[in-house]
Amino acid sequence: MYKELPEAGKTTIALHRIAYLIYNYEKQFKPEEFMIIAPTRFFLNYISNILPDLGVDNVKQCTFEDFAYDVIGKKLKISDSNEKLVIIVNKSFDEINKGNTEIMIQEAKFKSSLNFKRILDEYLIDVENNYIPKEDFCFMGHTIMKHNDIDYLFKHTYKIYNYTMRINELEKNMISELNKKSPQIIEEIKSERTAKISGLTGKARVDLYEEYDKTIKLLEKGQKKIVKEYLNKIPKLDCVKYYKDFIDNYLQNSTPVMEYLKQNTGRNLSKNEISFEDLAPLMYIQIKIFGIKEKCKVKHVVIDEAQDYGEFQFDVLKNIINSNSMTILGDIAQGVHYYRGIENWKSFIEAEFKDVKTTYTTLSKTYRTTKEIMEVANKVIDKLPEYEKEFIVLGDPVIDRKNSIYMHECCRKEQAVVSEINNRINKHIEDGYKSIAIIAKDMKECEQLEKMLSKMRSDVKLIEGKDSEYNAGISIVPSYLAKGLEFDCVIISNANNKKYTNSSLDIKLLYVTITRAMSKLDVFYEDELTNLMK
């Protein structure tokens, strides 16, 4: 585990670690057995050339959503992973919570917790107890296997397997039992046939004989078909239908949060839609009941921006790789997805890796940005409440370059502000800088900036979160999509008191924004500069 500051090089360390493991443990690890989980495809493109440069190819690189698609094996509409964050930042609400973000936050926290997994485990035990048909396996009035014996094999003898593999093993066992008892049953059928046709003649005798003969041939050569008829009584549900049954019929309306969860999730599932927090439970149901496909099997997982994932997401990954072999990298100071992510490394390790050998490393040196810029960032993050700062380390910058910050109080006329931003862009380009980002707090502000700047220049690109390529140049980015990226120059479009309040989320968003800058930070603000930067 690497807990680190922005620009301390955690991603580079992780990629070099993969190369190290592959070269030094080539008998234990193959490149295709490694997986990197990154926050966005945009970020994956951003790092895509590093591993080949290290001489390592075929490492799986994906977002958590992409991997979930592979595991679940079913096309679903997944809401944007930033959806709840956007609602909180923009103060816009859906039709169920009607302005109450707290209940939405509590739902996301609960779904991402091990408590939610515990209730799901209880449901899966219930599914397991009722999986096998409540009847004996019989043929023509002959009992081949008692229900209790079949149920015991399924629940105990083959417990180490997922349900699909258990049924495969059970089928072999049932066919074997049928084979053992077939000779005796056939003899009894023949005796019964002889008795019944003795008084018949002509066509009636022939028809009855052939009917019994079909049954005998079925017993001799069609044991698998007979067993299948019994096993086909097991309901054919996929992981989504099981999850819907869990939400609709198993979870109790015991609290307002639970009531909201049932209503919100049920509504989404009815439209074949799910939220990011639904992925872990769906993946968990899939691997427990149906197993995991060969293409999803990995031995080591590297998780970047780990602070944005909850305990349940990590637990699912541990189940998939069937070990604790992970490289986990994160920075709680950038934990803007606090409603589902990690807020305390100590309690996280205690919950997920209590009895596991864990190496925990803090990276405090910063190599991306200048001393001046980092001092401003440290000033901002230090405004967090004391209880949130326990696992946050203030940056110790290596680069000492002067005149890297430009502060500008602007008027309320948008056109004049955008014109001044354009002037700063031109200045940075003249000075030889290649990548420039205008970072606004939310997407609405970004869209307005893009609309106005596009009238002045044609080289501006709005980053919307669905982008898969990064080609430097001039970008307009909302604060919550800037995480993990770096730019030669960052222009904050409006850092006033209204945009950035003293809330923990605003502090982290502004911290992320500031620390994207490598060489130059321009801060524009209307009326009064945010207290966070004073």
- In this predicted model, which residue has the larger pLDDT, 264 or 392? 264
Reply yes or no on whether the pLDDT at 263 is more than 60: yes
Amino acid 95: pLDDT:
54
User: Are the C-beta atoms of 89 and 474 separated by less than 8 Å?
Assistant: no
Q: How far apart are CA 60 and CA 37, in angstroms?
A: 9
Q: How far apart are CA 32 and CA 35, in angstroms?
A: 8
- pLDDT digit string, tens, across residues 91-111: 665 555 556 788 999 999 999
Amino acid 445: pLDDT:
93
- pLDDT digit string, tens, across residues 214-258: 888 888 888 999 999 999 999 989 999 999 999 999 999 889 999
Reply yes or no on whether the pLDDT at 5 is more than 60: no
- pLDDT digit string, tens, across residues 376-401: 999 999 999 988 888 787 878 777 77
- pLDDT digit string, tens, across residues 73-85: 888 888 888 888 8
Amino acid 16: pLDDT:
84
- pLDDT digit string, tens, across residues 486-516: 899 999 999 999 999 999 999 999 999 999 9
- What percentage of the chain carries pLDDT values higher than 70? 95
Q: Tally the C-alpha atoms within 13 A of residue 381's C-alpha that lie toward its C-beta.
A: 28
- pLDDT digit string, tens, across residues 6-55: 555 677 778 888 888 888 888 888 888 889 998 888 778 767 777 777 77
Q: Which residue has the tokens 């602007």?
A: 410
Amino acid 467: pLDDT:
64
Q: Amino acid identity, residue 32?
A: E
Write the DSSP string, 498-523.
TTS-SSHHHHHHHHHHHTTEEEEEEE
Reply yes or no on whether the pLDDT at 324 is more than 70: yes
Average pLDDT of the residues in 157-178: 94
Amino acid 378: pLDDT:
93
Amino acid 98: pLDDT:
56
Amino acid 468: pLDDT:
63
Work out the pLDDT band at 140, boundaries 50, 70, 90.
confident
pTM here is 0.87
Amino acid 294: pLDDT:
77
User: Are the C-beta atoms of 17 and 302 separated by less than 8 Å?
Assistant: yes
Work out the pLDDT band at 86, boundaries 50, 70, 90.
confident
Work out the pLDDT band at 3, boundaries 50, 70, 90.
low
Adjacent-strand bridge partners of 405: 521
Please name the residues in contact with 492: beta carbons below 8 A apart, sequence gap of 6 or more: 439, 440, 513, 514, 521, 522, 523, 524, 525
Grouping H, G, I as helix, E, B as strand and the rest as coil, residue 495 is: coil
Work out the pLDDT band at 366, boundaries 50, 70, 90.
confident
7: left (phi over 0), alpha (psi -120 to 50) or beta: left
Q: What is the DSSP letter of 385?
A: -
